[in-house]
Amino acid sequence: MIEETFIMIKPDGVKKRLIGEVIKRFEMKQLEIVDLKMVDITRETAEKLYEMHETKVFFDRLINFTISGPAVVMRIRGEDAVMNSRVIVGDTYPDKRLPGSIRGDFSPFLTENIVHASSSKEDAQREINIFFE
């Protein structure tokens, strides 16, 4: 089914000059970038984006990292875009990341993991609404 998802290239991905590489991975899988912008995320917006993690021990670390530099946010559309994007991005846990996934190729870290991809269709809509009209 054709659907949209939300992708964010996090500050570590921007600092490591991986914007082009990340975009290429989605386009190679026939996912279409329908909107894109570079943003300096405020603390308030980061807390809204990650509100489902508010009670987790890593929340403060995650928010401070998310606002540590510019990020790139994107709306991506294509066949099963939510699920396919998560495969392209790779697992949350470093020891489960497969080579060929973005995180598997570029990050050994749990928090600083290059890219965020929405985990469900509902989250995708909510996250798109935070950053795009």
Q: Measured from the CB of residue 111, what is the shortest distance to ligand CMP in angstroms? A: 4
Phi, psi (rounded to 5 degrees) for 36: -160, 135
Residues 26-85 that bind ligand CMP (CB under 6 A): 53, 58, 62
Q: Measured from the CB of residue 55, what is the shortest distance to ligand CMP in angstroms? A: 13
Catalytic residue among 106, 107, 116, 117: 116
Virtual CA dihedral for 123, 126, 132, 133, nearest 10 degrees?
150
Spatial CB neighbours of 120, under 8 Å, sequence gap ≥ 6:
82
CB of 31 or CB of 62, closer to ligand CMP: 62
Task: State the amino acid at position 79 in one-letter form.
Answer: E
110 binds ligand CMP (CB under 6 A): yes
Is 116 a catalytic site residue? yes
CB of 64 or CB of 111, closer to ligand CMP: 111
> Residue 39 pairs with which residues in a beta bridge?
71
Spatial CB neighbours of 2, under 8 Å, sequence gap ≥ 6:
77, 78, 79, 81
* Interface contacts to ligand CMP, rule CB under 6 A: 53, 58, 62, 92, 110-111, 113, 116
Query: Would you name the residues annotated as active-site residues?
Result: 116
